Amino acid sequence: MLSFFKDYKKFAIGFFILSSIIILIIYNILNVEKPLPVYQPNNVETTLVDSTIQHVKKYHKIADFSLINQNGKTITQNDYKDKIYVADFFFTTCQTICPIMTDHMYEIQKEYSNDDDVMLLSHSVTPVIDSVEQLKRYAVKKGVNDAKWNLVTGDKKQIYELARKSYLAVKSVGNGDKFDMIHTENFMLIDKKKQIRGFYDGTDPEAISQLILDIEKLKRSEKL
């Protein structure tokens, strides 16, 4: 009888240990962090997607570009190679949403001041007005770190096509001519593969907090 209870005790301990291991494995599987979505033109609100690419279901990436920053330097995709970055569209004379957006970009800059993997990119939607000199004055006023945050100007049609066909940031109407004007509060989170991983209201502090959380999530996923 004593032998039976001893054997039963060993069995019970072994069963408890095995059950604990199984429960722990299941818990870890169920709590695997869900990755951020990869946005394609066909799964973004249609009003933000140019009609010529609304059918695209995969492989959408930010197109190559060549623009000029606040220091007169040519900025291309190579400057953002292997970087996570946040992009937006603004203009320096805007008195409504842009100052709020710029302040929030500054908060992101401050959060990642010592992180070389995270950068910022702000495109002027009034490039004729926003010359290199104007962007530089604005950058100094707003505390822009030139090594981390580029304010860019250049060809208007290129900038507007980037907004509409790459970043999926604004309504699809317009052709980028002198009468065209886009105005959007959207911030876009771009991964190291040039893919869109999130859209955020650049005027909303809660959305900016979520953006920072998502940057951290993206950093973790790209280390795997």
* SS3 call for 115: coil
Residue 47: which pLDDT band, with cuts at 50, 70 and 90? confident
The CATH number of 41-223 is 3.40.30.10
Residue 104 annotated as binding? no
Residue 55 annotated as binding? no
Residue that has been written with the tokens 């010529």 in this structure: 52
∠ at Cα 117 (103, 80), nearest 5°?
A: 85
Q: How many CB atoms lie within 10 A of CB 149?
A: 24
CA distances to 41, 150, 161, 180, 215 from 157, in Å = 20, 19, 6, 9, 30
pLDDT at position 18 is 63
Domain ranges of the chain: 1-32, 41-223
The CA distance from 179 to 33, in Å, is: 46
Average pLDDT over residues 106-117: 97
pLDDT at position 121 is 98
pTM of the model: 0.84
Residue 60 annotated as binding? no
The CA distance from 146 to 127, in Å, is: 19
